[in-house]
Structure 1
């Protein structure tokens, strides 16, 4: 767990400013007087556990960062952080969701986009091209964004790489804004250091009617067009669960649907 030397009031102020809220905005939303909130931020008053949770809830602060605020205020962190293997019910839920999404490729990733689990469709669909190992094998964490965008990964197969890279970076910036995770900042810098892709002359530039940006992938099965969704656990009480997301790729056309079913 990250330990901070900053006082809790300074951390609350940083999160309030990150969310672009004034003290009055936060005061009205939480029922904490603006005067008391000002005293907390300047260190003249110490917040209670209940007040920290009320402010964290309104500021949408991730559980990992909430633990840091509690520690800075002199309290024990209220949220556990266990590995997914120690969360038996959660692991069963993750595996069940992944299986239920077949034949669509789906993976579970942590906050830094490191692979936690993959369904059989993802292993069959991406394994050969991206090196996703079969479940149960010993391997270092595979980062899904490096696998997708690195020059020695799937990048040469993505026909609309420039557009897809732009969308990925936009999403990463939003995620960094929400979580303040330093690993995401490093990942963004790494992706920006990859060779800039040329304009997508051959890829689908999209139209004003597009609802989402598809991933266009050249494979041995022909060109595949995929859409993706993200699933997260609702109301988590564990840091690990709070940071898990399940990324699922769905077919965007009939040909892609037939290929996924055949795999």
Structure 2
């Protein structure tokens, strides 16, 4: 395991989050990111000037109360949504400078995605779903790496099955393998264990942790589960569209205590 660290630099009322052990450019980073929906009385500020770095080879979890901007941040970082202002970089490539074709290529070639709803193609087998991004790109499958990924997620005997023949946990393992098989710069996981039972969740989180430890994969995961966040190297906490805290080497207990402080603050505001 690489030793990771971080520090929090106060910026306005939010926190600019960077790493103190950054070797080379980060896998992804954002500068003064804002996202505003609507206007006038109906205006909602989902992100209010967020700056953050995601270190290569590190597992980061993003947590916060409902409506804090977690998914909005991930969608902007993953080129699935466009920020109102600010910059997003994948490596040294700034996303707003790219046209739609180049953005599609970035998503296809350099990013991996794992969603709560699995997002598998029902008419394809597990193997076809895993290799789908490479097939679309016209890229040859590295059979040795494919075998490594399949063995890691334990799907060797399920490759010919279609999604409706697999359990929820098995479907999510297919989605994890699909994200990893193209060896992306960074994988974005949005509540990847949200639809799974505790055993399947543990298997998925163990796989994600192993992919960081053994393969040097970079993972950014949005989650509401302190137990899931404890698998990460660090946890970033969002509230009201701003980073407000960072935790290195988290435990489920420490994360839960931090989240309780959000609940107490919210209750105080309501009262």
TM-score by length of 2: 0.26
Higher helix share: 1
Higher strand share: 2
Q: Which has the larger radius of gyration?
A: 1
TM-score by length of 1: 0.26
